[in-house]
Amino acid sequence: MATISENIQQLHGRIERACLQASRAVHSVTLLVVTKTFGPLDVRQAFEAGEHRFGENYVQEGVDKIDALADLRDRIEWHMIGPLQSNKTRVVAERFDWVHSVDRLKIAQRLSDQRPASLPPLNVCLQVNISGEDTKSGLTPDEVAEVARQVAALPNLRLRGLMAIPEPAETLDEQRRPHRALAALLAAINETHGLALDTLSMGMSADMDAAILEGATMVRVGSAIFGARPRPGG
Ligand SMILES: *Cc1c(COP(=O)(O)O)cnc(C)c1O
């Protein structure tokens, strides 16, 4: 079985090829290593292989890992990418560097209020339900521009862009469509509100190439690095 370090190396090759195909600079795409369900030793291996940005879905699991890797805190960016409830915003505002999954104004207001003055502004993305799935969290494409305007004005946040988890699709063309829609939405918001949002958080192990072709600036990849996650209950 390939090691974490070998998988990371392969993944950078894959990012490079997609960038080349899209005529984009390789450094325009940042890798966020998704570490949910994997332990601190795996995270440390990814760090030693050169990665510095890690994404967690569950608040408590993330905080436990931040604590377990306290010696690396100054050299790691921790990103919250999972659904966020109001009663969990304080610990996220205190412990994380980024939140990708802001899906309503109230959550953003709480994060801004609760961000400690000793820390730089919290980087946030608005999550968009780009495929219009009933089960997915996220703002509808119609709502997002107005929420972006309000979130951009909050003092202790830095609104960076948009995030989406499109519905799984088989072909490259089908995969590209929702990513293209998210990129267009970001451009429209920047234009309408005179903002300079720079982050398109989109693309996972299965659809990363399509996302890069459509302008992803941050891809969130877990299983292509660590292998399949254990299924809950199985
Ligand atoms: C789990 C997860 C990922 C990574 O998915 P893989 O298919 O393992 O690459 C990315 N983004 C979010 C929001 C996730 O929950």
Residues with Cβ within 8 Å of residue 28, at least 6 apart in sequence: 19, 217
Share of the chain above pLDDT 90, in %: 93
- What residue ranges do the domains of the chain occupy? 4-226
**Choice from 8, 59, 103, 220 to test ligand 1 binding pocket (greatest atom count within 8 A of CB):** 220
* pLDDT tens per residue, range 130-146: 998 877 789 999 999 99
Enter the pTM of the model: 0.96
Listed in sequence order, the DSSP H helices in the chain are: 4-21, 40-48, 59-68, 89-95, 105-114, 141-152, 172-193, 208-213, 223-226
Name the amino acid, one letter, at 64: D
Say which CATH topology domain 4-226 has.
TIM Barrel (3.20.20)
* pLDDT tens per residue, range 212-232: 999 999 999 999 999 988 765
**Gyration radius of the chain over CA positions:** 17
Which ranges of the chain have pLDDT less than 50?
Answer: 233-234
What per-residue confidence (pLDDT) applies to 234? 39
What per-residue confidence (pLDDT) applies to 218? 98
Closest CA to 132 of 171, 178, 85: 178
Residues with Cβ within 8 Å of residue 110, at least 6 apart in sequence: 86, 89, 90, 93
Q: Locate the ligand 1 atom nearest the alpha carbon of residue 165 and give its number.
A: 13
- What average pLDDT does the chain have? 96
What per-residue confidence (pLDDT) applies to 132? 87
As for ligand 1, residues whose beta carbon falls within 6 Å of it are 34, 36, 57, 81-82, 165, 204-206, 220-224
What per-residue confidence (pLDDT) applies to 231? 66
